[in-house]
Structure 1
Amino acid sequence: MPMQYKVDVLAMLKETGYNTNKIRKEKIMGEAMLQKLRSGQMVSWATLETLCLLLDCQPGDLIEFVKNTE
């Protein structure tokens, strides 16, 4: 996978007051997106935009491109 997370996004959300219960309750994102974050899978651009708004950051603060050396 050429894209990967640079940080633990769920931990960052928790630090800013957004635990998974609050995210679900306020319908910020669905369980499927939370599960993708838990497993390190890439989320949609819309979800990435939401994460950047909540965390007050840029996409490059969350993800990085890693060359495949195979």
Structure 2
Amino acid sequence: MFHLPTYAPDLNPVEMVWSHLKRGLGNLAPCTLDDLAVVIRSRLKQMQYRASLLDAFLAPTGLITNPRST
């Protein structure tokens, strides 16, 4: 577990994930909140399988990205 300062968006990889997600949603016009939720879940699922993208979110934070060997 890493304890981050109260508000440090440059050290919080979640802020970078949301920023990336919001940039991709800018031109969408979902009809309902449920439609928007479906799109968001889909985009987050797609990000989950792009390891290089996730590493890019972690790199500026200095957090360890190498998994522990067992």
TM-score normalized by structure 2? 0.30
> Which structure would you say has the larger RCO, counting Cα contacts within 8 Å and 6 or more residues apart?
1
From the CA coordinates, give the structure whose radius of gyration is larger.
2
In proportion to residue count, which structure has more strand? 1
Q: TM-score, normalised by structure 1?
A: 0.30
